[in-house]
Structure 1
């Protein structure tokens, strides 16, 4: 049976054996499997299905067929297509709606150690382009659910907004995105999600989310995690992104702001 090392996987790594993904299991894996089984039971097919564990104790998941970014940089053009951005918004809304009613198992355990509270959803927490699987111009779904966990809708949306809009600051040597284009894509994603609350809340939530992620990376690196040490440049980029988002004008968060001064 064929065995292929899958690209990406900064923290866990994965191999494809036949048509099944095998990954190192962690203490939170059974809870994530319960979540994936909940989504499967609801008819949601844009996420891997949990298949249990192999003889080596690794988790087994169905493979989402399609194209991924892998190690490519710069990212492919499909990342910036409006059609894909709207699909990301709809995908997030579907996941959030379905997980709002999810009851975790009694021994609930998540990557970040939280427990689900009333009114919370279970977010993917890393629905970024590098975890997307696409087929042409169609979003197949997102892989790598390892850091999924309970949060508000806004908290999960905030991390997706950073790379997809993008509101993440450019890497050294990369050009900055046009401010009006970023505003347009920010509201396009939230329109696709069907977000009806005050969008000015993201002026606070996005910097908080970026800084919290940077803190988590640094804490793991300080504890000796080699994958986290490799991500330290990303932590610095997240801090810079938070500072840059703090500097956006209030008008940015109002629908139609991208049409101003045209």
Structure 2
């Protein structure tokens, strides 16, 4: 067998590369994700890995998606360009559109499902952020890590992607010095830029900015916090580590920050 190469990134799973394949642990949700990936392949969507089967060790086998992932130079520049934001919005729209015709089986199980069944319009990735993007030539080319995927409204997925990609926390990428710097958010310097990027995302995705966007974003972040606490309480050590390292407290602070400042961004 080709030697295993441990892949970096992610809070939860141990992921390895063997040749042109990626091997990942499976869970109760995996068969539903596999059906989703097979559907996307039939739809001709090229922005996701292909499901290849289960290996002798009981791990799922996916195609390795070539490109750049979570590289330092991406974190300091490429992540925050308008071109990347536009590409991410368009990729998310293509993914969502590719799932409209997907009908999960009656026995489908997902890790995260939007509570109101009547509002299920697509399959949400539920973690469509920069750290789950593959870049080629500096542009978003594919989404990876579909473990948290599940049925929901488009805006449910968009809300989390906006939080991570605009970004909507208490920091802001700043290009004013001629190079990228990550600085503390200041209303006078950054509110208009944040507003512009929100509108650019929706324009690129192809829908208008909803009047209740604040509520979507805050509710999505509340569910994120609840999910971390629930999984940790059920004995998931990866999610407990997120609490121990302060990630839960960080997200709780972000909720307050977004609620306090959102009117400046619309």
> Fold conserved (TM > 0.5)?
yes
1:104 aligns to 2:101 (yes or no): no
Post-superposition CA distance 1:175-215 (Å, at most 9, x none):
2262221111111111100113x522211110110111011
What residue is the counterpart of 1:169 in the other structure?
170
Q: For 1:251 and 1:182, how far apart are their aligned partners in 2? A: 9
* Equivalent pair of 2:16/2:23 in contact (CA under 8 Å): yes
Q: For 1:12 and 1:162, how far apart are their aligned partners in 2? A: 23
1:203 aligns to 2:204 (yes or no): no
What residue is the counterpart of 2:14 in the other structure?
13
Q: CA deviation at 1:114?
A: 6.3
Q: For 1:82 and 1:244, how far apart are their aligned partners in 2? A: 23
- Runs of 4+ in structure 1 off by over 4 angstroms are 113-119
Q: For 2:143 and 2:19, how far apart are their aligned partners in 1? A: 20
Secondary structure of the residue that 2:75 maps to in structure 1? coil
Secondary structure of the residue that 1:184 maps to in structure 2? helix
Q: Give aligned pairs, total.
A: 250
Secondary structure of the residue that 2:164 maps to in structure 1? helix
Matches within 5 A, 1:199-238: 199-232=210-243, 233-238=246-251
Q: CA deviation at 1:113?
A: 5.6
Structure 1 segments unaligned to the other structure (5+ residues): 254-262
* Equivalent pair of 1:200/1:250 in contact (CA under 8 Å): no
Q: For 1:129 and 1:113, how far apart are their aligned partners in 2? A: 22
Structure 2 segments unaligned to the other structure (5+ residues): 173-181
Secondary structure of the residue that 2:201 maps to in structure 1? helix
1:239 aligns to 2:252 (yes or no): yes
1:69 aligns to 2:82 (yes or no): no
**CA RMSD of superposed structures (Å):** 2.2
1:84 aligns to 2:84 (yes or no): yes
Q: For 2:161 and 2:217, how far apart are their aligned partners in 1? A: 10
What residue is the counterpart of 1:257 in the other structure?
none
* Equivalent pair of 1:127/1:159 in contact (CA under 8 Å): yes
Q: CA deviation at 1:31?
A: 0.4
* Equivalent pair of 2:51/2:61 in contact (CA under 8 Å): yes
Q: For 1:237 and 1:90, how far apart are their aligned partners in 2? A: 29
Distance 1:249 1:130, change over 3 A: closer
Post-superposition CA distance 1:227-260 (Å, at most 9, x none):
112212222222122111112354632xxxxxxx
